[in-house]
């Protein structure tokens, strides 16, 4: 039985004992997802060459936490709609086709209010002020363009906050899905909940299945099991290898594939138990730049990394990484 295709809690081998199969899918917890990432970003910013930018991103993610935990309740897809989508092996929250509730814009307002109470770069203040005066139709159109990977350079600053609000909205939606009805997609490199690409993979070091790899969705934060040493973009295993910065801790590596010339970040809890796929990805831009210079293209960007340098004080590294990236949702 292949990894990731067993029932939840199923045992391989004797029912009296053996190796427990990894859970195929782990839904996000909105009450902790953003708080954990914000704390990790603050910890990683200490002594970092991009400390000011990481601190700004920590403030943004903390604002996401407030939005995620105070946003009004809103309805997700009906159980029948979820069942219909999963029966067709489609994501029930398809990012580029889901009919959004206006609650996501309420989340954006909460996020902007939180950022008003902290010190952020002047360019970011100007962008948030313009967003407050934006019309609902314009915000919806920008959200559509972001989800389809078609954000223009001139609107990248505003898209940062729209992306952050959409992460809150889709995380809340994914958390409420009936987990027993969900299935992994035929394209194992895409999120079973919303069909988006993962921001990074995490190889576990503890729990019931140490050594299992989980990919973490860049939009809704769901995590799903994916076999190791297999390219998450093309599914090949013949030319997969790991690259890392010389002298690094080994906690974050780039898994490269010579078949499709893509790479994805992989995080190892055995080297650092506190790794966070969203925060550690932002803090390791140097690895992205080095791997891109060697000829590999990132499988998909972190949604916040894609446009973060225009919203705050990103610096050239974010621009260099973005230049080699593909659209975030496909």
Q: What is the mean pLDDT of residues 164-177?
A: 98
Domain residue extents for the chain: 23-330
Q: What is the mean pLDDT of residues 159-178?
A: 97
For the stretch 294-320, pLDDT in tens is: 999 999 988 987 543 333 433 333 333
Q: What is the mean pLDDT of residues 68-81?
A: 95
Q: What is the mean pLDDT of residues 121-143?
A: 89
**Which residue from 249, 280, 285 is spatially nearest to 39, judged by alpha carbons?**
280
Hey, what are 7's tokens?
């029932």
Task: Give the confidence band of 12 by pLDDT, cuts at 50, 70, 90.
Answer: very low
For the stretch 224-251, pLDDT in tens is: 999 999 999 999 999 999 999 988 889 9
Whether the pLDDT of residue 4 is over 50: the answer is no
Note the pLDDT of residue 306: 59
Q: What is the pTM for the complete model shown?
A: 0.87
Whether the pLDDT of residue 19 is over 90: the answer is no
Note the pLDDT of residue 122: 80
Q: What is the mean pLDDT of residues 114-143?
A: 88
| Class (C level, CATH) for 23-330 | alpha beta
Note the pLDDT of residue 287: 96
């Amino acid at each position: 039985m292949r990894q990731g295709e067993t029932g939840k809690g199923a045992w391989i081998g004797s029912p009296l004992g053996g190796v427990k199969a990894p859970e195929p899918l782990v839904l996000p917890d909105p009450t902790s997802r953003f708080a954990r990432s914000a704390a990790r970003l603050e910890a990683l910013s200490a002594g970092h060459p991009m400390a000011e930018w990481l601190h700004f991103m920590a403030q943004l993610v903390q604002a996401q936490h407030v939005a995620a935990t105070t946003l009004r309740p809103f309805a997700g897809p009906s159980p029948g709609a979820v069942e219909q989508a999963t029966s067709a092996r489609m994501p029930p929250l398809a990012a580029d086709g889901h009919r959004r509730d206006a609650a996501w814009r309420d989340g954006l307002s909460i996020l902007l209010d939180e950022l008003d109470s902290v010190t952020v770069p002047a360019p970011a203040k100007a962008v948030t002020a313009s967003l407050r005066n934006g019309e609902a139709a314009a915000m919806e159109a920008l959200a559509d363009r972001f989800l389809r990977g078609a954000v223009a350079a001139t609107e990248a600053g505003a898209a940062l906050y729209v992306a952050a609000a959409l992460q809150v909205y889709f995380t809340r939606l994914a958390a409420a899905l009936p987990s027993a009805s969900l299935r992994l997609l035929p394209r194992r490199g895409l999120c079973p909940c919303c069909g988006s690409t993962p921001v990074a993979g995490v190889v576990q070091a503890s729990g019931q299945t140490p050594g299992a790899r989980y990919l973490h969705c860049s939009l809704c934060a769901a995590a799903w099991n994916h076999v190791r040493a297999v390219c998450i973009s093309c599914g090949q295993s013949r030319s997969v290898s790991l690259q890392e910065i010389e002298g690094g801790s080994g906690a974050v590596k780039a898994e490269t594939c010579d078949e499709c010339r893509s790479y994805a970040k992989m995080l190892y809890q055995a080297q650092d138990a506190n790794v966070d796929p969203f925060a550690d990805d932002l803090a390791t831009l140097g690895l992205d730049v080095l791997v891109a210079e060697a000829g590999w293209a990132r499988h998909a960007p972190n949604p916040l990394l894609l446009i973060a340098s225009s919203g705050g004080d990103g610096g050239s590294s974010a621009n260099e990484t973005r230049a080699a990236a593909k659209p975030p949702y496909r």
